[in-house]
Amino acid sequence: MFARLRAGIAVGLLLLAPSMALGQSSPPDPGLGLPPPPSDAPLATERVFPRGSSWGVVPPPGFSLVMEPIVRFQHPSGVTIFIQEAPKAPVSRVEIEKERNADMQVISVEDMQAGDRKGVYFEALHIPRKARVHSLVLEGEAGNAMVMAVVPDAARDAVPRQVLLASLTSALERPRTEEEKLASLPFQIGDRAGMRVSTIGLGTVAVLTDGSSDDTDAPYQSFATIVAIRLPAGQTLDFDRDIHAMAARVQKQFPGASIISRRVIEVGGSKVAEIVYERSVKTGARVAGIAWAKVTGGALALVMGQYPMGNANARARLVKVRDGLTVR
């Protein structure tokens, strides 16, 4: 379960990363490469349930709720709090203690209470981003959540640890239906091509699949991870210029991935950047991957698809999802 939560966050951040290379004009914050909150963003003073989210927290003083490109509570220093939801599953500190990841070094694990919910709290170092991560994993009535604060080294004294812990342990579940969550997304999935909604994470990231597992390392299922990032008025993107940077992001997210092709195609009169790749999952099996970027409704829509090797029908379903995607 921990691995699935971590993977959801990693994929979400991967999909956001190309927007910076593709002309995102706002300066990045020191931690995650996300634009800072606008100066008029409202400050929260009580428990806040982001639109469509089943979980809410009381953000620390000075944090703003920002809804795009992903939902987060952000401090001007770059300290950021995320809520990542996942399907209900047992929470185990053993799973966290045995976690091995090149980017994330777990340094401590302990049981921690959040209201009447027992959870597992851990601290870790995110090595590539030079940040400390404080995470509380909780099992709720309808689903699970990882409430995570990311503290860049450059902002380590900006928010006291006990203040962050108070916010994490304020997490409360207020279940939402799948329809409510889908309605809260900044985009519409016109054709799911027979796929079900696996997860809606980080407020604006939807994951579809055609099988029973929600583990994106399942080699015999297809997955489509979707996010849309609104572009500033008048901004244009140059896919021909930036497609190589997008391919590099894929390889960074999936070390050892083989890039099969990178090209800019035309779909319905509009340009679409396409990266085709293969990667190994944790079982050692190889899966096919494909990432698309297109501009629709004044936003950059990103779709990262994965499907069993050689399954042309599965790839065709992913194309249907891509082509049916519109921005609200």
Strand partners, 134: 123, 149
pLDDT on residue 45: 58
Q: What is the secondary structure of 301-313 as a DSSP string?
A: EEEEEEEETT-HH
- What does CATH list as the number for 2-173? 3.40.1000.10
CA-CA distances (angstroms) from residue 115 to 73, 140, 154, 172? 21, 11, 32, 8
Distance separating alpha carbons of residues 106 and 169, to the nearest angstrom = 19
Distance separating alpha carbons of residues 76 and 95, to the nearest angstrom = 34
Burial of 4: CB neighbours in 10 Å, binned 0-12, 13-18, 19+: buried
Tokens matching residue 192: 């799911």
CA-CA distances (angstroms) from residue 288 to 152, 245, 261? 34, 20, 12
Distance separating alpha carbons of residues 18 and 144, to the nearest angstrom = 28
Which single residue is written with the structure tokens 């203040």?
Answer: 163
Distance separating alpha carbons of residues 251 and 262, to the nearest angstrom = 12
Indicate the class that CATH gives domain 178-327. Answer: alpha beta
pLDDT on residue 195: 94
pLDDT on residue 41: 44
- Confirm whether 2-173 and 178-327 share one CATH topology: yes
pLDDT on residue 192: 92
Identify residue 86 by its one-letter amino acid code. A
Which single residue is written with the structure tokens 């696996």?
Answer: 198
pLDDT averaged over consecutive 10-residue blocks of the chain (328 residues)?
48 41 33 42 68 89 86 92 86 75 82 86 87 92 90 92 93 86 87 89 85 90 90 82 89 89 93 96 93 89 94 96 90
Which single residue is written with the structure tokens 């979400």?
Answer: 12
CA-CA distances (angstroms) from residue 87 to 77, 191, 212? 32, 23, 12
Q: What is the pTM of this model?
A: 0.76
Number of neighbouring beta carbons within 10 Å of residue 258? 13
Q: In the chain, where do the E strands start and end? A: 55-56, 64-66, 72-74, 80-87, 104-114, 117-126, 131-139, 143-152, 172-173, 187-189, 196-201, 205-209, 223-230, 258-267, 270-280, 286-296, 299-308, 325-327
Q: Give the sign of the dihedral formed by CA 99, CA 101, CA 106, CA 111.
A: negative
Domain ranges of the chain: 2-173, 178-327
Q: Are 190 and 326 in contact (CB under 8 A)?
A: yes
pLDDT on residue 75: 94
